[in-house]
Structure 1
Amino acid sequence: MLQVKARMPKAKRPLTHLTFDKFSNLLERIVADPFSKLEGYIVNGNLVETKDINWLKCFLATRTTKNGLRSLVEGDSFRVHQKIYSSITNARKLSPGTSCNLCLTENLLYCPTKGLCSHFRNCKYHNSAQKQFRPCPSQICDAFWKEIGFFHRYGKPSWKNTKADQWCTNHWQVAKCFMPLDGYQDVSSFDDTDFNGIINFMINCTESQRSLSFNIANQPNALLEARNIVRSIRHSPDLMVTDDYLASFFSTLNLLLTDSKYLASDSSAKEAVIKLNQLEKDANRTPAEYVREYLQEVRETKKVITLELLQFCKATVKFHSSH
C-alpha cells in the first residue's frame, strides 16, 4: 500500500519521497561532492535522529580501528609478498628483479575449480581463448599460485579478487587473496579496502601470526571478536545500539589495538586508541556532525560510497514503496 503524506511545498520537499533504489543512485551520483545536496539533508535532520548517535559512533570507530591496523597489515602483506617472490626466484635460480606480467588469474586455475567456475564446456570464468588454463611461460606465476595457497590458513584463497599479472610487483594483489570472496576485485591499496577486508586478511594469512600475541587458530580471540562485533553492527536491521553494547563494542576494538606483540607500541594503533576514547566519551556532537565527519573522509580519500552508508540511510529514511 502506498504511504499517503500531505503535500509539501516543492522547495522544502524532503528526500524521503524517493524509493530506496532511487536514493541509492542519487548517493552514487553526488558522492564525488559530499558537501552538496546530501549534506544539506543530513544537517537539516532529515536522515538522522538523536537515537542513532550510538550506531554512528560504532560506524566511525570501525574506520578508526582500521586506520590503527595500517602499519601491521601493510608490513605483514609486504613481508608475505617478499617471502613468496624470494622463494620462487631462489628455487628457480632466476635473476633478481625477474618478473612476469603475462598471466591472468584465469590462466593459473584449472577448469572447473571448486567454488569458482563451472563445467569447462560452459564456464563463465574461463570464457575466452585468452583466459584458458596454461602454464606460466616464466615459471613464476604458477609457483606464486601454489605459495599463496600455503600461506592461507584454510587453504582457500579468494582467486576472484586478484590480478595475477601484478603478483610480482604489487603486494596488495597478493593480500586480496586472503580477503572475502566478493567485493574486493577493484581495490588496489590499504586505503581502498574496508575493515572487513583488513580483518579477514589478518585472520586468513598465517604471516599475521608473527605480529600478534595470541594464537589466531584458537577461538575466541581478539581478531574474531572484532570481526564479529563489527559484522553485527553492519547488519543491524534498525541501527539501535544500546549504551551497554556501545561500551562492549569499544572495549573489543581497544583490546585488539592494544595487543602486546606489536600494536601496543605502534604509533598508528596508539593514535587510534586515543581517537576511540575521545569518540566513546563525546556526548556533545549532533548526529549530523558525525555523518559530516564521514563525508569529509570520503572527499579527502576520493573513495566511492560504501555499503555501510547506504545501509544507514536505508534504515533511517522512511522510503516510499516502489510498487
Structure 2
Amino acid sequence: MMAHQLQLEKEKYRQWVKAGLGLGYLKEGLVPFCNDIADQQHKDILQIIRSTKSLPSTVTCGGCQVETLKPDHKPVGSAKNRVCPLGQVKCSCCFKGKIACPNNICGAIYDYIVQHHSSSPPAPNWKSTDAQQWSTDPWSICKCFINAPGYEQKQSAGKTDCTGLLHLMINNQYFHSHIGCNVTGTNNLFSKVRQYRNNIFHSSSMELEEREANSYIDDMVAVLQDGKELLQQPDAQIAVKKLQDLKKTDFIISTESFEEILRQIKEEMGKVLKSTENFATQYDDLKKKLLELETKMSDQKKGKLENKKELEELKKTITEEKKEKLEMEIEQAKLKEKLTVLETLVSEQKEEMAKIKTQTSSDQSQTEYEQTKLGKLIFVLMVYIQVY
C-alpha cells in the first residue's frame, strides 16, 4: 500500500514538473514572434508621428520622464472636473505642471500607448517603463502593456517570462492584428494559458494529475499554433515539438529540468515580493493623502471652507481614496497568502524528510524515494533560502 501511494505521488510530481517545463518551452516559442512584432510596431509609431508632425526622420528624444510628461491630447470638461478624452483614469492630461516633450515626440507616443491598450478603461503600466527610451527602444513601449509588477528591469522579450509575453499580446491592440485567436475578454485561450503559471507555481502540493498537466500543455501548443502567423514561425513550431514530447510516457525529470523549474519559481516569488514592497509604499502614500484630506474636511467644519462645490468635491475624493485603500488592503492580503504557500511547503516537506528513515521498506527503492520526497524538500528549501 505504501509503495503504491509513493508511486502515485511521484507521478503527480512528475506531471507538475512537466507543466512547469511547458511554460519555459512556451516562452521559447513566443520570444522571436514578440520581438518581431515589437520592432514593427516601434517603426510604425515613429513613422506615423514623424509624418503627421512633419518631423525629421532622425528625430528622437531621451530626456522625458513619464511622471512629468505632458501628453499631446488635452482634457475635456471644466477646470475642476477634468476628464481624459481617451478614457484613462488619472491621466497625466488632467494634471497641471506637466512638461511637453521638447522634441515633440514623446507626448504623441504616450497618446499612442493609451489608445492601443485593450483594457477598458485603458490602463498602461507606466511604472514599468522608461520614457527616455521610447523613441529608441521598442521594448520600453511594450512594457507599458504588461499589467503586472516585476518587469521593470526586463530589457527584451528574451528576458521576459511567458506570462509577461502573454500580457503583451493580450493588452496590445497592435499584436491583435497578428493573432488569429480572439484575445478579448477573460475566457479566451491566451488568457487561460496566462493563468496557468499561477496555477502551477502557487500550488502548495507541487503535484498535478496527468489529465490536468496534459490539458495545460495542449493549450500551450494551441497558442503556438495560432493560424495567423505563429503557425509559420520556425521557433514556435520547434517549441511545439518540445511540448508534445513532454506528454510521452517515458518523459524523465533530468537535472536540467530540475534547475529550470527552480529558476522559474525563484522568478515568480521575486515578483510576489516586489509586489508586496510596491503595495506597502503605495499604501503608506495613500494613508498620508487620506489624512491630509480628512484634515481639510475638519477645517471646513470649522468654517474655514465656505464653497459648497469645493466641499462636495472633497467628499467625493475622500470616498474614492477610501475605496482604493480597501482594494489595496485586499490585494495585500492575497500577496501575503501567496508567500505563505512557500512557508507551508517547507513545513510539510520537513515532515516528509523525517519519515524517510522509518518508511523505506525492502520493496522500495531508496533512490526512487529520495528523488520524490527528499528531492522535493531540497528543491523547496533552495527556493526558500534564495528568495528570503
The answer to whether the 8 Å contact 2:20/2:261 transfers is no
Q: Distance in 1 between matches of 2:195 and 2:266?
A: 23
Match of 2:177 in 1: 210
Match of 2:14 in 1: 53
Which amino acid in structure 1 is aligned with residue 14 of structure 2? I
The answer to whether the 8 Å contact 2:180/2:227 transfers is yes
SS of match in other structure, 2:158: coil
Match of 1:156 in 2: 123
Match of 2:60 in 1: 99
Q: Distance in 2 between matches of 1:76 and 1:220?
A: 24
1:109 CA displacement: 6.0
Q: Distance in 2 between matches of 1:63 and 1:161?
A: 23
The answer to whether the 8 Å contact 1:238/1:315 transfers is no
Give the TM-score normalised by structure 1.
Answer: 0.70
The answer to whether the 8 Å contact 1:84/1:148 transfers is no
Match of 2:226 in 1: 259
The answer to whether the 8 Å contact 1:239/1:315 transfers is no
Q: Which has the higher helix share?
A: 2
Q: Do structure 1's residue 226 and structure 2's residue 193 form an aligned pair? A: yes
Q: Distance in 1 between matches of 2:254 and 2:346?
A: 14
Q: 1:71 aligns with which of 20, 25, 32?
A: 32
The answer to whether the 8 Å contact 2:126/2:144 transfers is yes
Q: CA 1:258–1:285 in structure 2 vs 1: closer, same or farther (change >3 Å)?
A: same
Match of 1:144 in 2: 109
Q: Distance in 2 between matches of 1:304 and 1:227?
A: 15
Match of 2:374 in 1: none
Q: CA 1:235–1:226 in structure 2 vs 1: closer, same or farther (change >3 Å)?
A: same
Which amino acid in structure 2 is aligned with residue 136 of structure 1? C
Q: Distance in 2 between matches of 1:318 and 1:194?
A: 29
1:314 CA displacement: 5.2
Q: Distance in 2 between matches of 1:277 and 1:308?
A: 28
1:92 CA displacement: 1.4
1:239 CA displacement: 2.2
1:72 CA displacement: 2.0
Q: How many residues align?
A: 256
1:216 CA displacement: 2.0
Moved more, 248-257 or 77-86: 77-86
Q: CA 1:243–1:102 in structure 2 vs 1: closer, same or farther (change >3 Å)?
A: same
Identical amino acids, percent of aligned pairs: 26
Which amino acid in structure 2 is aligned with residue 146 of structure 1? D
The answer to whether the 8 Å contact 1:69/1:269 transfers is yes
Q: Distance in 2 between matches of 1:106 and 1:235?
A: 34
Q: Distance in 2 between matches of 1:171 and 1:315?
A: 41
Q: Distance in 2 between matches of 1:56 and 1:147?
A: 41
Q: Distance in 2 between matches of 1:284 and 1:165?
A: 47
Which amino acid in structure 2 is aligned with residue 69 of structure 1? L
Q: CA 1:233–1:287 in structure 2 vs 1: closer, same or farther (change >3 Å)?
A: same
After the TM superposition, which residues 267-306 of structure 1 pair with which residues of structure 2 at under 5 Å, given as runs?
267-281=234-248, 283-286=250-253, 288=255, 290-294=257-261, 305-306=266-267
Q: 2:164 aligns with which of 173, 181, 197?
A: 197
Match of 2:141 in 1: 174
1:257 CA displacement: 1.0
The answer to whether the 8 Å contact 1:71/1:268 transfers is yes
Across the aligned residues of Structure 1 and Structure 2, the Cα RMSD in angstroms comes to 3.3
Q: Distance in 1 between matches of 2:12 and 2:188?
A: 31
1:212 CA displacement: 1.4
Which amino acid in structure 2 is aligned with residue 225 of structure 1? K
Give the TM-score normalised by structure 2.
Answer: 0.59
Match of 1:83 in 2: 44
SS of match in other structure, 1:108: coil
SS of match in other structure, 1:69: helix
Q: CA 1:139–1:50 in structure 2 vs 1: closer, same or farther (change >3 Å)?
A: same
Match of 1:318 in 2: 347
Q: Distance in 1 between matches of 2:251 and 2:214?
A: 17
The answer to whether the 8 Å contact 2:68/2:99 transfers is yes
